[in-house]
Chains A and B, each alone.
Chain A
Amino acid sequence: MIPSFDVSQIQVTPYLFFTGKGGVGKTSTACATAVALADQGKRVLLVSTDPASNLQDVFQMDLDMNYKSIPEVPNLFVTNLDPEEAAARYREDVVGPYRGKLPEVVINQMEEQLSGSCTVEIASFNEFSHLLTDQALTESFDHIIFDTAPTGHTLRLLQLPNAWNEFLHNSKEGTTQGGLLAGLDKRKEVYKQTVDVLSDPRQTSLVLVTRPDHAPLKEAARASQELAETGIKNQMLIVNGLLMKPLTGDSTATAYTKRQQDALAQQSTLLQSLPTYAVPLVSFNVAGVANVRRLFADEQDVSNPEMNTAELKVSGLAAILDDIEAKGQRVIFTMGKGGVGKTTIANAIAVGLAARGLKVHLTTTDPATQLDQIMHDNIKGLLSMSKIDQKVEVEKYRQEVLDKARETMDEQSIAYAEEELNSPCTEEIAVFRAFADLVDRADNEIVVIDTAPSGHTLLLLDATESYHKEIANASGEVPPSVKKLLPRLRNEEETAVIIVTHAEVTPVFEAERLTADLRRAGIHPKWWLINQSMALTGTKDAILQQRAASERTWIQRVEEISGSHYVVLPWQSNEEHGGEQQHKMNKDGVSILPGSRTNEGCCGPKTSCC
């Protein structure tokens, strides 16, 4: 039995950082912690970096960069740092002074270069370092609690200090790097101080928030290790959303609990060594101070909500498959944040299309997927599979560059080459090249890929491509597959991007951001897929029914965004392990795959470029 999270029972450091995958409940647990500490009479500042601004819903008031006091909670102050806004300010600081002075095309180019998630993080980190090193501020609060952005952001954000120290050091060697860190040297002292605070166990603790599920636990383990490596060793784990008293005899509730227990039983030894606390799955939305206080008190509201699933579109994948088949689309991407089931859905789409007699090539970034697990006798010969392994692709790219360098260059030059390959872009570019080759296969068959390049990368590469085209002496180094890629992705007759999400606040907001990014690059995803819907299970468990009822808001939102081009798939308990995957075929011949197998940490190119 995991002990409940209770701030009066633990040593609380002046700084607390909450981290975890999007949707695990960082905001709610961070808020509840802040309120609990303030209720003890401590002066607390809660800093949200959540771009979805969940915090505004929680405290039911408008929040901004200013420190606002919460009337119902004396001693609590809250500030909301929108990282996107911070990035926009940073971008304007760099570009603004040159508007009208340099050609507009050049200004646009600069803006795109500063639109990656790296800029977002640098900008956020700037704000963070203010808070961590401002003595007047730290003296006026007993605790400063950071409710950070989703995991990928968080990791890099918190890892940045050390990376930057190295970078600043390297820059002495005279390598010219991109201007993203323009003017950084000036802030070197502040950053060093920030690093010191972060890695001091008496000052800072890291709270890893997870759900009792394989993907978020795996992500928590990864974050724990990576952050420990950067020096943040004072860590604890909060398991949020445990179903404490499942309704006896309810198959969904039973399966739900079993899956939670299985996931916890299999968590890594690394996590097992951390102090671990439980927060129950609650029936209410964590909105309003009263509910925030109830979160750690395990008081449930068991009134049955109104359920009406009839209005939900439950056409399954068939509607999407019909559309792909009718249009004759040949390149199919599934896109979404880690943990929503991109790989599972890509598998199901590939199998479904093959079952319709189409020749399909499935590419997965999940090393655990095995073709024989999803292959049925009736589609043999139609379905083939390959994998993109990010690490392998990066290594391949590095080797290719270095081999060429070795042909003509001496050691000093090779040292330069290695140095240049340490750029964060190498990864995305390397994977992008693998993409291009895969998409090229679509001349002969349908290609289904469980990840997609970010719009930001596509835009930057597009600029590069047109640049290459115009070079008179270019000897055709840009592979033809790369040249064809972007026009192909933009062509809706040829390409379908399917946005995968859950019917919850954070996954939907994250999916919206991905979509906006793709739109900038001229790619317009048509279909949305809501995976793992509790509303479709027909559960009678009171708490699960409440969860199901709360999906409605997000399903409606997806309906609006997608112009009703969406489908909903029910929550399924089967978590694949090894080769034990079970498949049911529905009447469309679509394999309904176990719902939630995901493999966090290998979701293709990060949505970051620089």
Chain B
Amino acid sequence: MIKIEVFESGGCCSTGVTNPEEKRASIRFAVAVSQLSQAGFDVSGYNLLSDTTKFEENEAVKEALASDPSSLPITLLNGVVVKTRSLPTNEELSEWTTMSLERLEGKGESI
């Protein structure tokens, strides 16, 4: 079972709103997450403000933050930090889950 956890900065003025490129990345990621969840993958997103406990409980995340406070967003694959400072790309998600890029983009048949 593949487990992906993404820890994001909180607040609606968080990263990614100053320009459309960043905004697009977050939308792209949201679509991919939705596709993955529908396909039964265990994908969770945690927000610094609403899910603070998850940050505090996770040693890997705390360690990453302690060594570099600007690590967020942090991605864990099966509990191991695999990416920091930006959201996973669809290519990375595809590699981890074997879901096709097309489907991650929401273009494939939805389930």
* B17 proximity list for chain A (CB < 8 A): 423, 425-426, 429, 464
The answer to the question of B60 belonging to the interface, with a C-beta cut-off of 8 Å to chain A, is: no
A470 in the interface (beta carbon within 8 A) = yes
Interface residue count on the B side (C-beta < 8 Å):
43
B88 part of interface (Cβ distance < 8 Å): no
Residue ID in chain B nearest A425 by CB atoms? B12
How far, in angstroms, from A420 to B22 measured CA to CA in the complex?
12
Docked CA distance A102–B59 (Å): 10
A-B interface pairs (CB < 8 A), number? 166
Known contacts A102-B56, A102-B62, A179-B51; A113 and B45 CB within 8 A of each other: no
Q: Which residue of A lies closest to B89 (CB)?
A: A473
Q: Report the Cα distance A94→B37, complex, angstroms.
A: 29
What residue of chain A has the Cβ atom nearest to residue B25's Cβ?
A477
Cα A389 to Cα B18 with chains together (Å): 18
A283 to B28, alpha carbons, bound, how many Å?
62
**B contact residues around A428 at 8 Å (CB):** 13
B24 → A minimal CB distance (Å) = 5
Q: Contacting chain B: which of A151-159, A405-413, A524-532?
A: A405-413
Across the interface, B69 reaches (CB within 8 A) one of A97, A105, A179, namely A105
Give the secondary structure class of A's interface.
helix
On whether the beta carbons of B22 and A477 are closer than 8 Å, the reply is: yes
Which of B48, B51, B55, B105 lies in contact with A413, CB distance below 8 A?
B105
A405/B24 in contact, CB under 8 A: yes
Contacts of A468 in B (CB 8 A): 15, 18
How far, in angstroms, from A460 to B17 measured CA to CA in the complex?
11
Known A-B contacts A94-B52, A405-B24, A413-B27; A106 and B65 likewise in contact (beta carbons under 8 Å): yes
Does B49 sit within 8 A of A, measured CB to CB? Answer: yes
Cβ–Cβ < 8 Å partners of A461 in chain B:
13, 18
State A303–B19 Cα separation when bound (angstroms): 61
Contact, CB under 8 Å: B56 / A101 = yes
Complex: A433 Cα to B14 Cα, angstroms: 16
Interface contact B19-A478, CB-CB below 8 Å: yes
Contact B12–A110 (Cβ < 8 Å)? no
A67 adjacent to chain B (CB < 8 Å): no
- A416-B27, A416-B30 are contacts. A178–B11 as well, Cβ < 8 Å? yes
Q: Complex Cα distance A461/B18, Å?
A: 8
B48 and A109 contacting across the interface, CB-CB below 8 Å: yes
- A127–B70 alpha-carbon span in the complex (Å): 35
Which residues of chain A come closer than 8 Å to B24, judged between CB atoms?
401, 404-405, 417
| Chain B hits for A3, CB < 8 A | none
CB distance from B25 to the nearest CB of A (A): 9
A326 within 8 A of B: no
B3 interface residue (CB < 8 Å to A): no
Interface status of A135 (Cβ within 8 A of chain B): no
Q: Is the CB of B66 within 8 A of A103?
A: yes
Given known contacts A409-B105, A420-B30, A477-B19, is B12 in contact with A103 (CB within 8 Å)? no
User: In the complex, what distance in Å separates the CA atom of A375 from the CA atom of B8?
Assistant: 51
Contact A467-B70, Cβ < 8 Å, known A116-B13, A178-B10, A478-B19: yes
Distance from A108 Cβ to chain B, minimum over Cβ atoms (Å): 9
Specify the chain A residue showing the minimal Cβ separation from B45: A176
What are the residues of chain A within 8 A of B70 when measuring CB–CB?
466-467, 470
Given the complex of chains A and B, what is the CA–CA distance between A177 and B47 in angstroms?
A: 8
Give, as a whole number of angstroms, the nearest-CB distance from B10 to chain A. Answer: 5
Q: Once the chains are docked, how many angstroms separate the CA of A466 from the CA of B72?
A: 13
The residue among A113, A408, A432, A457 with the most chain B CB atoms within 10 A of its own CB is A113
B50 within 8 A of A: yes
**CB-CB nearest in chain A for B108:** A410
A433 to B69, CA, bound (A): 26
Quick check: is A482 within 8 A (CB to CB) of the other chain? yes
Contact residues in B for A94 (Cβ distance below 8 Å): 49, 52
In the complex, the answer to whether B20 meets A397 with C-beta atoms within 8 Å is yes
Q: Complex: how many Å from CA A110 to CA B53?
A: 13
Q: Chain A contacts of B30 at CB under 8 A? A: 175-176, 416, 420
Query: Is the CB of A307 closer than 8 A to any CB of chain B?
Result: no
Contacts of B50 in A (CB 8 A): 178-179, 181-183
Q: With a CB–CB cut-off of 8 A, which chain B residues contact A473?
A: 86
Chain A residues with Cβ below 8 Å from B45 are: 176
* Most A C-beta atoms less than 10 A away, residue of B19, B55, B86: B19
- Taking a contact as CB atoms under 8 Å apart, the answer to whether A178 and B49 are in contact is yes
Least distance between A416 CB and chain B CB atoms (Å) = 5
A578 at the interface (CB under 8 A from B): no
Which listed residue (A103, A416, A423) contacts B65, Cβ 8 A?
A103
Structural contact, A113 and B85, CB atoms closer than 8 A: no
Instruction: Determine if B12 and A401 form an interchain contact, defined as CB atoms under 8 angstroms apart.
Output: no
A174 within 8 A of B: yes
A609 interface hit (Cβ, 8 Å): yes
Nearest neighbor of B21 in chain A, beta-carbon distance? A477
Any chain B CB within 8 A of the CB of A548? no
A420 & B18 in contact (Cβ 8 Å cutoff): no
Instruction: Check B31 for interface membership: any CB of A closer than 8 A.
Output: yes
- Mark out the residues of chain A between 450 and 508 whose CB falls within 8 Å of any chain B CB in the assembled complex: 457, 460-461, 463-468, 470-471, 473, 477-479, 482
CA distance A508 to B13 in the complex (A): 29
Contact, CB under 8 Å: B20 / A470: no
A-B interface, 9 closest residue pairs, ranked by CB to CB distance from nearest: A179-B49, A179-B50, A113-B11, A105-B69, A178-B12, A182-B50, A477-B21, A460-B13, A610-B12
User: Measuring CB to CB, which residues of chain B are less than 8 angstroms from any residue of chain A?
Assistant: 8-15, 17-24, 26-28, 30-31, 34, 37, 45, 47-52, 55-56, 62, 65-66, 69-70, 85-86, 105-107, 110
